[in-house]
Structure 1
Amino acid sequence: MSYGDLLSEAELQALDEIMRVPSAPPSVLLVDDDEVGRDALADQLVAQGIPCITADSGEQALALLVTRPSIGLMITELHMQSGSGLELVRQVRQSARASLPVIIVSGDADVQDAIEAMHMKVVDFLLKPVDMSRLANLVRNELGTPPAPKAPPTEVRPRPAKAKAKAKVIALKSA
């Protein structure tokens, strides 16, 4: 006996919605063989509410893309000991994740690298040091997540003693 024998179509639909496993929020895959730089970038994105997964090589990144469907964007370093970030992008473009948005970062790139990256439809090519505000906005835009909440504006009120002193100075100047 199945649920279909006991429940109406509307009840089956409601049951399906209740039992559905919530999907994980989209995350960013950071690929860089420089552990310090990779972790610093991940920490900054996480501090802005952007979940991150890290990989230290293109090979590890490709494996994660297969096993982690929640990855919604990849940020890769251009030059790594284990291989080129451009080669990693080529492999991603030939995989089941071909439409994955990619951002390339580099501390030393030439115009040819940037042109080649743009031909592979990367979202952007950023030079280090990375402007974190720009990167966070790019990531949020690609993942479709709302911008980080801004701190509420603080009201600046003059201190009474300072305001009185300023009034006395003005009075003395005009006398």
Structure 2
Amino acid sequence: MEHTVMGSQAGKAGPPRVLIVDDEAINIETLAWMLKDAGFEPLRAQSGPQGREIAARQQPDLVILDIMMPGESGFDTCASLTGDPATADIPIIFISGLDDVDNKVKGLRMGAVDYVTKPFAREEVIARVKIHIRLRRGMRALLDEQAAKLAQLRDAQQSILVTPQDLPEAKFAVRYVPVLEAGGDFYDVFPWTDTVMGYFVADISGHDLGASFVTSSLKALLRQNTGPLFTPVETLKNINSVLGSLLRDGKHLTAALACVNRRRGRLSLVSGGHPPPILVSPDGQASVLATDGDVLGVFPMVQFGYLERAVSPGDRLYLYTDGFIERFGPRAVGRDDGLAALVGHCRQAARLPLEAAVAAVAAAMAADGDRPQDDLVFMGIEV
């Protein structure tokens, strides 16, 4: 399984540091004296390139930036600082003799947080510096708090996900990658009976936190409606009845439920609007197990696709969510093309051990290195 942890930056010890970028030494020293007298640590740069280098290396709490400088103007420096991830969140105050509204608006639109005109008054400069450093630190504290809460949600959500080590007799491997700290995709693996193992993969529409909250209820709902008292179709119908009251704002759920009886060599598969599983034989022959079916959580009366077929030892079944085969934007990949690519990669990995095969297929499907646009689940099951 894989997840991403939001980073946080601890507050720096010592006085707040302010970088002054100005080509006039008299302006630098005047501002430096004002800042030091008020308890700040001034850093100095006499050009835009020098200021950018110091900002990236020293990570000041704030930058005071002159506009009119030879070569690289303050506007150019501001654009570079706000465009660099290493310095993008450092607040910038423009300080300039240009007092017209157009220049002030231009500076603020470029990402500066404030604008002070020359000649500047000590009290005004110090007051504005304090305000924006406090705002930045308050925002960081808020982001750190949000990151901590998301990490708790992520840990709680992932604690309910079964790992191959938890259930070795299920013979599965899985790759789980949420876009956010907690995702809207979900999977579960559990004994259906003494001879049948159940495998469930679901995708809740959207990948916001609202979707992720449903997953904690989904596991309990699934376990309450599986076992010898239910057929797989009845399981999904019962889940659909409850989801109608849980899901709001047009959200819905697609799901695939597979039951494998290794003793009898039988596979039962139910689909509720989910991408089709792929069955691969040990010699690399692949079948797409397409079944029609309604999505869950929208309609009170639903029909699900169902199939049953024989399977043999060594066969592999792959379940996945649509984020694994679809992509949007400049490198868009349609569902049909993505599915064809996935089938090809599953065939090529047929002779690898299951865990290595799942890792190889996942790596091949993400070969361009782009961050996933949607939550991902990719599960391999060996008969």
Q: Could you tell me which residue of structure 2 aligns to residue 27 of structure 1?
A: 17
Alpha carbons of structure 1 residues 82 and 39: separation in structure 2 relative to 1, 3 Å? farther
1:53-92 to structure 2, matched below 5 A, reads 53-69=43-59, 71-92=60-81
**Distance apart, 1:47 and its partner CA:** 1.0
TM-score of the pair, normalised by structure 1: 0.65
Any idea what SS the aligned residue of 2:23 has? coil
Equivalent of 1:40 in 30, 38, 41: 30
CA distance in 1, matches of 2:72, 2:101: 19
Q: Is the 8 A contact 2:21 2:47 kept in 1?
A: yes
Deviation at 1:87, TM superposition (A): 0.8
Q: How far apart are 1:121 and its partner, in Å?
A: 3.0
Partner of 2:108: 118
Indicate yes or no: 2:111 matched with 1:128: no
TM-score normalised by the chain length of structure 2: 0.31
Query: C-alpha separation between the residues in 1 aligned to 2:40 and 2:13?
Result: 16
Taking only the aligned residue pairs, the percentage that are identical comes to: 27
Are 1:139 and 2:129 counterparts?
A: yes
**Partners in 2 of 1:58 and 1:34 — Cα distance?**
12
Aligned letter for 1:90? A
Q: Which has the higher helix share?
A: 1
Considering Cα pairs closer than 8 Å and 6+ residues apart, tell me whether 1 or 2 has the greater RCO. Answer: 1
Alpha-carbon distance in structure 2 between the residues aligned to 1:46 and 1:82: 29
Aligned position for 1:101: 91
Deviation of the 1:82 alpha carbon: 2.9
**The structure with more radius of gyration:** 2
Report deviation, 1:112. 2.0
Counterpart of 1:23 in structure 2: which amino acid? A
Superposed displacement of residue 68, structure 1: 0.6
The one-letter code matched in structure 2 to 1:141 is I
Report how far residue 109 of structure 1 moved. 4.2
Structure 2 gaps, min length 5: 1-11, 136-383
Q: Distance in 1 between matches of 2:15 and 2:94?
A: 22
Q: RMSD value over aligned CA atoms?
A: 1.7
Contact 2:49–2:72 under 8 Å retained in 1: no
Q: 1:160-171 counterparts in 2 under 5 A?
A: none
Q: What residue is the counterpart of 1:158 in the other structure?
A: none
1:66 Cα offset (Å):
1.6
| 5+ residue gaps, structure 1 | 1-21, 146-175
Asked if the contact 2:47/2:72 (under 8 Å) is kept, the reply is yes
The offset of 1:28, in angstroms, is: 0.3
SS at match of 2:43: strand
User: Post-superposition shift, 1:141?
Assistant: 1.7
Q: Equivalents in 2 of 1:130, 1:52: separation in Å?
A: 17
**Equivalent pair of 2:20/2:28 in contact (CA under 8 Å):** yes
Q: Structure 1, residues 109-158: CA drift from partner, whole Å, max 9, x if none? A: 4322111111123221111011211110111122239xxxxxxxxxxxxx
Give the partner amino acid of 2:40.
I
Q: CA deviation at 1:54?
A: 0.6
SS of corresponding position for 2:88: coil
